[in-house]
């Protein structure tokens, strides 16, 4: 079996992907034409130029512009189903999709209607595409107390049936202004039984990773790529096997690394850290989940065993039920045995 065929056949989970960032080019164009006068281009060529990022703040501005096109609950369901459709041919079986309720709140969507759209889309993702959908509600970290309040209220009062986690994204350097607010929100979410899955160490240093560990009770961390400059942190992550959801192409496109060859993924594995492989905002970065595995093979020289390890890590770090985890791991093991 060729490495490409192996990657295509490999059962995968996607643990770090954002609702709006998952919107395919055709979907974004449809929305931008449906809602004229936005900042988002209405032709494919212009949209692809629009998706050429200079740094993370630039990416955040583009993301917010696309997010502003999502104005009705039906748009939310369309995005979820589009992601399931796109992931199914890539061997993806399960997704933990990051949704930002505050973004829907500020355009006037009632939380009950958003939840109904998410529930409907989760059911149809499984029946129509064979992809099981779970949700993580995340706070946009730049927006402070109101964003934290809205996100937590939606998670506790009107959660979708498949809500499993509570997170935070956005520009990490802005979070320090609202430290106590965010710690309190995560404490309440965890008390309600939600898993803590914040971003940390993507565009800032180890201090942000320590903050999400000590202040937010992180059970899994989005990115975490800047952990390597702190030996004490590396030792802690190795000892606790706290999963890090790594997204190499995303880090390149938002300017966190200068070249894909410089990505710390290989060293993170060499250090014994627990790493999963993900796509983050795939159409915006001209990638897919399967392409991230191809990058790992082509750029880092990972063979079938190491690619299978990343796939197993994703399954084990997910919030799937134990029986389903065992089934997927058995599928991965069987493929390795025949590949």
Q: Which residues are catalytic?
A: 202
The answer to whether residues 301 and 40 touch, using CB atoms and an 8 Å cutoff, is no
Q: Coil, helix or strand for 163?
A: strand
Nearest 5°: CA angle at 308, between 302 and 314? 115
The answer to whether residues 22 and 281 touch, using CB atoms and an 8 Å cutoff, is yes
The answer to whether residues 59 and 114 touch, using CB atoms and an 8 Å cutoff, is no
Q: Coil, helix or strand for 157?
A: helix
The C-alpha atoms of residue 198 and residue 39 are separated, in whole angstroms, by 29
CB neighbour class for 125 (10 Å; exposed up to 12, middle 13-18, buried from 19): buried
The C-alpha atoms of residue 228 and residue 114 are separated, in whole angstroms, by 39
The C-alpha atoms of residue 218 and residue 216 are separated, in whole angstroms, by 5
Please name the residue that has the structure tokens 């899955």.
197
The token pair at 241 is: 């096997």
Distance from chain centroid for Cα 215: 21
């Amino acid at each position: 079996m060729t490495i490409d065929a192996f990657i295509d056949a490999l059962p995968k989970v996607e643990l770090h992907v954002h609702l709006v960032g998952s919107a395919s080019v055709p979907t974004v164009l449809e929305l931008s034409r449906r809602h004229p006068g936005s900042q988002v281009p209405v032709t494919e060529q212009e949209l692809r130029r629009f998706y050429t990022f200079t740094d993370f703040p630039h990416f955040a501005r583009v993301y917010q512009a696309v997010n502003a096109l999502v104005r009705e609950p039906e748009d939310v369901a369309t995005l979820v189903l589009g992601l399931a459709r796109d992931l199914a041919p890539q061997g993806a079986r399960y997704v933990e999709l990051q949704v930002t309720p505050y973004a829907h709140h500020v355009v006037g969507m009632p939380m009950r209607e958003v939840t109904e759209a998410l529930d409907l889309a989760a059911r149809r993702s499984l029946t129509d595409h064979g992809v099981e959908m779970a949700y993580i509600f995340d706070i946009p970290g730049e927006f402070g107390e109101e964003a934290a309040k809205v996100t937590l209220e939606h998670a506790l009062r009107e959660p979708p049936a498949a809500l499993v986690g509570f997170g935070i994204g956005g520009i990490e350097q802005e979070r320090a202004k609202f430290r106590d607010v965010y710690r309190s929100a995560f404490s309440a979410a965890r008390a309600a039984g939600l898993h803590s899955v914040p971003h940390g160490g993507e565009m800032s240093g180890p201090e942000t990773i320590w903050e999400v560990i000590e202040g937010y009770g992180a059970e899994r961390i989005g990115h975490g790529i800047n952990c390597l400059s702190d030996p004490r942190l590396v030792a802690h992550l190795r000892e606790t096997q706290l999963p890090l959801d790594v997204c190499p192409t995303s880090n390149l496109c938002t300017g966190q690394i200068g070249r894909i060859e410089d990505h710390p993924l290989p060293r993170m594995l060499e250090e014994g850290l627990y790493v999963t492989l993900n796509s983050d905002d795939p159409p915006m970065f001209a990638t897919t989940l399967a392409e991230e595995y191809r990058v790992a093979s082509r750029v880092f020289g990972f063979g079938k065993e190491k690619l299978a390890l990343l796939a197993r890590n994703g399954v084990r770090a997910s919030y799937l039920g134990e029986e389903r985890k065992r089934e997927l791991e058995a599928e991965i093991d069987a493929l390795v045995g025949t590949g």
